[in-house]
Amino acid sequence: MVTKWGHYITSLLLTAFFLLSAMSCSDRSGHIRSALAAADSLMMTQPQAALDTLMSIDSSDAGKLSRADKAFYTLLRTEAEYKCFLPVAGNTAISEAADYYRRKGPEDRLARALIMQGAVFSERSDPERAMLAYKEAEPIVERGGDLEQLGLLHTRIGELYQITYSDMSSAVDHYKSALRCFEEAGAVHRLAAANLTLSRILLPDSADTGKEYYIRGSMYAMNASDTAAIIESINQKALYLILHGKDTLAASELSKRAVMGHYGHAMPKATFNSFCQIAVEGCIYSGDSDSAMGYADRMIVDDIVDSLRFFTTMAGIAELSDNWKQVVEYERTAAHIAERIERNAGVLALAEREAALDLRYAQLTAKYRTLWLYMIISVLVAASSLMVSVILRYRKSLSSMKRNIRDVTRRINRAASEEEDIRDDMGDTERFSAAVERMIDNKKNVRASTMRMSERTVVLIDRILSCCFKYQNPETFRRQVEELLRHSRSAVTDDAILFTDTIYPGFLDGLRQSYGLSERETTVAALIVCGFSGNGICLLLGLKTESLSVYKSNINRKLGRSGRLSDSLYSMLESHFS
């Protein structure tokens, strides 16, 4: 007895333990999903807050997430770290997230994952794979219609051209595309940076062209109190004074105030070094070598571009001090660095690589189009099989009706010959028999027409299958099938109308006369009655999906019906031919 009760108590305790564990796991999962949703909503406007929210998720809990939640967590974490200027070059999980969204969707998250994957590859100094990720994301973002996101993507591609590939013409094209996207999206907070990016590239070559973007960018920066954009506008003003105003001293004073002022701590490295270089040039111009050396020492040198800037500046300081030996050494080092940058840029040949990427996506598009054609063929085969089945049933019922009419005719004739008092009515019987025979003859003609329609359908299917067997190249197969359908469209639609008139005599004429349907609308109705899908009707009649929807709505309106048009038509057929 004790053993029995102990077994029951143990079972109850185990059940309670598992229930509590499940509830605890459910609570943690719900908390994590809420944190992910909150981080996603903060990402565009407050990336630091989004990162803080993601950091609040315990690493052990993050490791137990489902594949979908883990991919989303990885995407958000990478985006937040990148937007907060933290290094992401060591991030390998973003590629796994991109692979997951490539298989499972949705497309908008796939695009975001690909953009972050490109940023990671860019930080790893792998521009080819970065461009590959960006080009894969581009058509997805365009389909999604998010113009602000598309503008940011064009900006990243432009940066890749400008910094890695030294292709300023292509960089300007992408930066201009980004600016158009931001303007159309009404993203005012992006306009300052977009205009100043273009003016930074164009000012050195053309004061007029670059100045237009500079003025707009400065205005947007001041209106938005955008510190980064204001610093950039000051930097560009200094460059403008040097290149086109020929006032090195004024540019130097402006740069000194920027470096020593309250904006100095907020400057990105490249801008800070640019200000230092301009300040050095002004000191050299005024003959103050000590101040020039002081500003040169402030420069931050941690990559090849910074090194070129630094050694060029040092050559100018050495020249001011008449130390020609150091001048030669600094200039030789700067020339060597410039050769390395030019050599690396020449090897990449970005334009050809981008063309190759475009070709690859064109091939993928052709592949998906081929799959779509295979689906159409499957639908045609299924519809043809259904049509043949209906025709065979119709032939069987026609033969049965013919036998029954002949039996009735023979019985009438026998009864007429046996009964003397109805011989006077033989004329009516003979006329009835003649009418019946005429109807049978008419049915023979209809049957012959139906058989011709079936033969044409089988021939069309056979030719499509022959093309599938003969042409291995998807693009060639697609062109052959489109050519075949172009010659067969009118025959297929005529057969559909004939088939409808055969099975439901007078139905189509009634739609025209009673409801005022046009010839085109009548053809659409006939194709629907025959079982063709919306895609098949669009292909046969050369319509877009939106145009077919308009036709269906107009037909339903004229019929005084609502809901699906096929349901309306079949309901009318059942009421008239049941």
Q: Which tens digits make up the pLDDT trace of 410-424?
A: 665 555 444 444 343
**CA-CA distance, 174 to 239, in Å (whole number)?**
23
The two three-digit tokens of residue 198, written as one number: 């273009």
Higher pLDDT, 254 or 131: 131
- Banded model confidence at residue 66, pLDDT cuts 50, 70, 90: confident
Q: What is the mean predicted confidence (pLDDT) over 114-140?
A: 88
Q: Which of 438, 448, 446, 569 is nearest to 503 (CA)?
A: 446
pLDDT in the model for residue 271: 77
pLDDT in the model for residue 344: 61
Q: Which CATH number fits domain 507-578: 1.10.10.10, 3.10.180.10, 3.40.50.300, 3.40.50.360?
A: 1.10.10.10
Residue-wise pLDDT tens digits, 515-555: 888 888 888 888 888 878 888 888 888 888 888 888 888 88
Q: What is the mean predicted confidence (pLDDT) over 146-163?
A: 86
**CA-CA distance, 71 to 58, in Å (whole number)?**
16
- Banded model confidence at residue 452, pLDDT cuts 50, 70, 90: low
- The answer to pTM > 0.75 is no
- Contact status, residue 47 vs residue 84, Cβ threshold 8 Å: yes
Domain ranges of the chain: 203-246, 247-348, 362-406+434-503, 507-578
**CA-CA distance, 573 to 578, in Å (whole number)?**
8
Q: Which of 469, 465, 463 is nearest to 487 (CA)?
A: 463
Ramachandran bin of 191, using left for φ above 0, alpha for ψ from -120 to 50, beta for the remaining angles: alpha
Q: Which residue has the tokens 């046996």?
A: 418
b/e map 292-317, b = 16+ CB within 10 Å = bbebbeebeeeeeebbbbbbbbbbbb
Q: Tell me the percentage of the chain whose pLDDT exceeds 90.
A: 2
pLDDT in the model for residue 428: 37
Question: 425: Cβ–Cβ under 8 A, 6 or more apart, which residues?
Answer: 416
**CA-CA distance, 292 to 370, in Å (whole number)?**
67
Query: C-alpha dihedral over 101, 106, 112, 118, to 10 degrees?
Result: 40
The two three-digit tokens of residue 501, written as one number: 């008139």
